[in-house]
Amino acid sequence: MLAIGRALMGAPELLLLDEPSLGLAPIVVAAVFDALKRLNSSGLTILLVEQNARRALEIADYAYVMERGRIVDEGESSGLRTDPNIQSHYLGVALSLTPTAGGSAP
């Protein structure tokens, strides 16, 4: 929070953040992301690089998904949050199994 505060003292038009949740307690992560959401709502543009995909997609308007240094998907965060591929690969949501012909899913 102190680093973000220092960056804001210069009245930036764009705030660049790299892994702001790294190594923080969950309650502090929640506070940081709440602050980022408020800053963005007040008109500040934020470029966020974050491995906590679930939290990042909760506050982002638009997102790029990178894998091994390459962009593999992009779009409005609301669409990415509900995309089955993104859910299974990055958000830890298991894909539901559909029954196959002549049998049922386990």
Q: What percent of the chain clears pLDDT 90, i.e. is strictly above it?
A: 71
Q: Note down the domain range covering 18.
A: 2-90
Is 43 a domain residue? Answer: yes
Q: Report pTM.
A: 0.76
Cα distance from N-terminal residue to C-terminal residue, the chain: 47
Count of structural domains, the chain: 1
Is 100 a domain residue? Answer: no
> pLDDT value at position 101?
56
